[in-house]
Structure 1
Amino acid sequence: MKLFLPGLLLILSFFSACAQQAPQELQTVKGRWNEKKINKWYAKQPWLVGCNYYPATAINQIDMWQASTWDPERIDLELGWAANIGMNTLRVYLHDLVWADDEDGLYQRMDEFLTICDKHGIRPWFVFFDDCHFPNPQLGEQPLPVRAYHNSAWLNSPARDLAKRYAKGKASPEEIAHLKGYVQGTMERFKKDKRILMWELYNEPGRGNGLNGDMGAKSKKTRIGDLSQKLVFDSWVWARDVNPSQPITSCTAGSVGKNNIKINRLNSDLHSIHSYTEPQELKTLITDYQKDGRPVIITEWLARDRGSTVEACLPVMKEMNVGAVNWGFVSGKSATIWNWGSRKNPAGKKRSVLQERAEGNVVQPGEAMPEPEVWFHDLFRYDGTPYSTAEIELFQSLTTDNS
């Protein structure tokens, strides 16, 4: 026994240390709304219907929000179309570089945007971080759309090199303060604003774009997107410190990395999930998340050539009492009417946006955007004519007397 006891104590000490270093994904940050509170809040809302919104004149988040390309007249026009089909909310991306460059100006533009939304009976929410698509954002003039290429200039926020350094604990104190200030300063400014529906901290952490790597380690078997988990978790700590009057969510289904998903599922007041699948798979996903006893919003859907259509999926979401927020609204610079496969050439090789821009394969200002026969995302053309009159009529019929 005398010989065994020290060894046993050593083993117990080891497991005690491991317990003290429990992974962050097992923790719930203090401040989460309980089920009763969030369900009471949700019951007061109309059936939430909207889109991921940026004006057709903007190719990415920076283009939408920086002063030189801010376009309130176009936004007002398009939100009139949104209200006319029954939309009452919008999912809207911010960008940390615009905040850092012009914090007061960004807040003024956000306030103007909220005023326009309020005019049309729409309550939007804002998204802070995003791992999707191109890794090196820059302020100033944004690139022209590559012809017939899905989303040729959507940007990471923060830049991927900063996100990776943050993940490895190598971000500078100034960079950490930048990211924290972006979240907390913005929330503090608008935390009591009733025009804002809620907040979303992180879109699809770990996703990448398949062209420039992703936010994770690669193995022979899988890609693990959990390199983002430190920023995912810290964003919850920062947000709960502010404790806004609006609920908070962060994307789960649609993200990459089991820890990213766990952190967000454990901490979200209500669930933000993505589905670009046909109705039966959509129902299965919704049912899984509804088991948590919290409201669910499908914050990305609509991929017509994959069975995620307005006719097939919008009635399902209404029947199951989940929010319906499709990707895209007006066909424009993002060119998301083209599907994900448009990023490859007919031989299946990835197209290079840098090379094609250098070769001049872009849509010039004033030139009509090319259209595929079957649109992937989006509902309207630039002039306000619908891609499908039947789709618009279904939106209108399902949102009539919305309550």
Structure 2
Amino acid sequence: MMRRPMAVRPAAPPAARHSWTATSSPVVAAAAVLILIAAGAGSPARAADGPWPADRARAWGEAHPWLAGCNFSPSTAINELEMWQADTFDLATIDRELGWAEGLGFNSVRVFLHNIPYDRDPQGFLGRIDAFLSAADRHKIGVVFVLLDACWDPFPVAGKQHAPVPGLHNSGWVQCPGLPILRDPVRHDELKGYVTGVIGRFRDDRRIHAWDLFNEPDNPNRSSYGRQEPPNKAELSLALLKKAFAWARAANPSQPLTAGAWVGDLTDPAKLSPINAFMLDQSDVISFHNYKPLPEMKRDVEALKRYGRPILCTEYMARPAGSRFDPILAYLKSQKVGAYNWGFVAGKTQTIYPWDSWQKPYPAEPPVWFHDILRSDGTPYDRKEVEYIRGVTGARKAG
């Protein structure tokens, strides 16, 4: 389907309060805003072919001392389409579950978008994003939006989504864009209106912490859809990623751009894959994924400090793999590294099951959850774990 031309003009920023950390005072928050303005946020256009100057990135970091939260989708959505399409956009569940996130002391969430709802109804999609941001802001939570994603099903289809496959991790999550667009470089430009339309509409919205342009762009999905993936996926995704950065920069957002390294040796610049090198060199703030125990997390954090920019760990926490809140969350806080675990409320994504469920579907709830923190009624999977999270974030106890 060819993309409609985008006619939406960037709107003025809403009068929304910025979501600061739970421990920040109004004086500190105001000072941080002044620092950010002095650094040039929302004023001169950024360089067309490079990231923010490091001092501007560091000013953003001063304004956001420690972001902590989760990768969020409501428990009633199997994927990004079910989350954002008009017929299944579930604001009541979103608001309730974001309230639970606030109760844990989370002040930021990472949220995946998709081009298909934008293609079908740009104004309606942008309105739903605004409604989501308003709900998050009521709970003192900012948002990192992800625009493109290379994980799981390469053939997304609009409309009613299938029911979850029992016992299977992310049985309905879909890639953005789908393979028909990704594998044809001529069609990559069909995504320009989506990227510039969304970022342009919210480019000065203080409820948004950052834009994550492409999630795990070269992920071959070997354990699930690998046979359907193109052998040159990394090259195709890198070509699209370069365009996405250019489109995003042209929209001139006041929020930073990033794309996260997710696999490979990050300790030696000479050993970086071409796509990791590009993402780390071009990001305004550095982001990465790490689902490994604390020593490996420390290794990556120390390696990424070489860029002299704020760092966000935008995915971690897989209990059986040794990536657990305790002690990783406290370590990330000590290093002022943003922390976004995968999953929040167990639901239709079924990420309580591990990745290997694609080889051996689980007949019942696993004894150790892979991801997620709360059950669908808001009760914790592990009360001690929730107490630990709240102790690190500084959240006040209920009651």
TM-score after normalising by structure 2: 0.82
1:138, distance to aligned residue in structure 2 (A): 0.5
1:59-74 mapped onto 2 (5 Å cutoff): 59-74=78-93
1:30, distance to aligned residue in structure 2 (A): 2.6
1:83, distance to aligned residue in structure 2 (A): 0.3
1:2-401 mapped onto 2 (5 Å cutoff): 29-166=48-185, 170-171=186-187, 176=189, 178-210=190-222, 211-213=224-226, 217=231, 225-254=234-263, 258-345=273-360, 370-400=364-394
Any conservation in 2 of the 1:151–1:334 contact (CA below 8 Å)? yes
Q: What do the CA deviations read for 1:98-121 (whole angstroms, capped 9, x no partner)?
A: 110111011110010010011000
Q: Distance in 1 between matches of 2:225 and 2:138?
A: 41
Runs of 5+ in structure 2 lacking a partner?
1-46, 266-271
Q: What do the CA deviations read for 1:205-246 (whole angstroms, capped 9, x no partner)?
A: 01032232376537xxxxx72331110111111111111111
Q: Which moved more, 1:110-119 or 1:244-253?
A: 244-253
3-state secondary structure, aligned to 2:278: helix
Counting matched residue pairs gives: 342
For 1:229, the aligned partner's letter is L
TM-score after normalising by structure 1: 0.81
Q: Distance in 2 between matches of 1:216 and 1:146?
A: 25
Identity of aligned residues (%): 39
Q: Distance in 2 between matches of 1:183 and 1:215?
A: 23
1:396, distance to aligned residue in structure 2 (A): 0.9
3-state secondary structure, aligned to 1:325: strand
Any conservation in 1 of the 2:65–2:336 contact (CA below 8 Å)? no
Any conservation in 2 of the 1:297–1:322 contact (CA below 8 Å)? yes
3-state secondary structure, aligned to 1:187: helix
Q: Distance in 1 between matches of 2:395 and 2:369?
A: 29
1:283, distance to aligned residue in structure 2 (A): 0.3
3-state secondary structure, aligned to 1:314: helix
Any conservation in 2 of the 1:216–1:226 contact (CA below 8 Å)? no
Q: Distance in 1 between matches of 2:317 and 2:199?
A: 30
1:376, distance to aligned residue in structure 2 (A): 0.3
1:315, distance to aligned residue in structure 2 (A): 1.3
Q: What do the CA deviations read for 1:300-319 (whole angstroms, capped 9, x no partner)?
A: 00100010011121111111
For 1:187, the aligned partner's letter is I
Any conservation in 2 of the 1:207–1:215 contact (CA below 8 Å)? no
Q: Distance in 1 between matches of 2:134 and 2:211?
A: 17
Give 4+ residue runs of structure 1 displaced > 4 Å after superposition.
none
Q: Distance in 1 between matches of 2:312 and 2:329?
A: 12
Q: Distance in 2 between matches of 1:118 and 1:255?
A: 36
Q: Distance in 2 between matches of 1:42 and 1:288?
A: 18
Q: What do the CA deviations read for 1:127-166 (whole angstroms, capped 9, x no partner)?
A: 1111100010011110111111110011010001210112
Q: Distance in 2 between matches of 1:85 and 1:107?
A: 28
Any conservation in 2 of the 1:47–1:323 contact (CA below 8 Å)? yes
Q: Distance in 2 between matches of 1:278 and 1:134?
A: 28
Work out which of the two has the higher radius of gyration on C-alpha atoms and give 1 or 2: 1
Q: Distance in 2 between matches of 1:216 and 1:325?
A: 30
| Change beyond 3 A, Cα 1:216–1:286 | farther
Q: Distance in 2 between matches of 1:209 and 1:31?
A: 30
1:86, distance to aligned residue in structure 2 (A): 0.5
Q: What do the CA deviations read for 1:70-126 (whole angstroms, capped 9, x no partner)?
A: 000000100010000100001100001111011101111001001001100000021
